[in-house]
Amino acid sequence: MSAETGAGRIVLPEIDSTNAEGFRRAGGLAGPTWILAGLQTAGRGRRARPWVSPRGNFHATLVLKPTEPPETVALRSFAAALALRDALVALTGLPASFALKWPNDVLCNGGKLAGILLESQGLGGPDAVLCIGIGVNLIAAPELALVEPGAVPPVSLMQETGLRIAPEAFLDALAPAYARREATFRAEGFEPLRAEWLSHAARLGETIRARTGAETREGRFETIDPAGNLILRMAQGSIAIPAAEVFF
């Protein structure tokens, strides 16, 4: 276990899904642990969508055993997004290039660079497990034809910056960045993370579309509230949206 990150590290050449491996190994882990895979054969994103995971991109999961209520545990997606941005800025020196898209994506020059998937088991109980899955297009991005119409187009870090960063080197930056964000979350709660997340939020104050199931709402992205909900200002007033697909 690293003294700097307070977390262990497991590196695997190939796996189906780092989140799935996290749940398989959770019972035998003594503390927070990163699982990094060179290749994922069954990576997935939100709503069980496939996540393209070629070798050279970053595919990793942080396995935690949280004690807080489920609604508090879920706020770690914002800690993860901020840590991702921290790592990207540290490695590239390009702070203006990276923005955060609600609820859990990181953008580079307006394109989707990274995604975060939180999955959990047994929250609120003695055997609670949280897997924070993170995928970053370090060297390659999915073809635009594979992306849902209207979604933010995917980009790779190498394409946008010219920098080629190895997955383990990326984890060397991400793991301590997340440890710092986790320490803030535990000591001070969500508010400082919320305030900083908003300072890097993509399209804050602008008109966006939020789709929940078959319903799409359009309005001004006003803020996120203390529960992490998207606050959308519409003609009839502001509404809080706990989960949605956001389109610009």
Cα–Cα distance measured from residue 51 to residue 2, given in angstroms and rounded to the nearest whole number = 29
Going from N- to C-terminal start, the domains of the chain cover 8-199, 207-247
Q: Which residue has the tokens 């990181």?
A: 106
Indicate the class that CATH gives domain 8-199: alpha beta
Match domain 207-247 to its CATH number in 1.20.1740, 2.30.30, 3.30.70, 2.60.120: 2.30.30
The C-alpha atoms of residue 55 and residue 212 are separated, in whole angstroms, by: 33
**What 8-state DSSP symbol labels residue 103?**
T
Q: Confidence band (pLDDT; 50, 70, 90) for 43?
A: confident
Return the beta strands (E) in the chain as ranges: 8-12, 33-37, 58-64, 98-101, 105-108, 111-121, 129-136, 207-212, 215-224, 230-234, 237-241, 245-247
Task: Please name the residue that has the structure tokens 């491996």.
Answer: 21
Structure tokens given for 234 = 């519409």
Enumerate residues 6+ apart whose C-beta is below 8 A from 244: 103, 210, 211, 212, 230
Residues 176-201, mean pLDDT to the nearest whole number: 98
Give pLDDT tens digits for 80-135: 999 999 999 999 999 999 999 999 999 999 999 999 999 999 998 999 999 999 99
CB atoms within 10 A of CB 54: 16
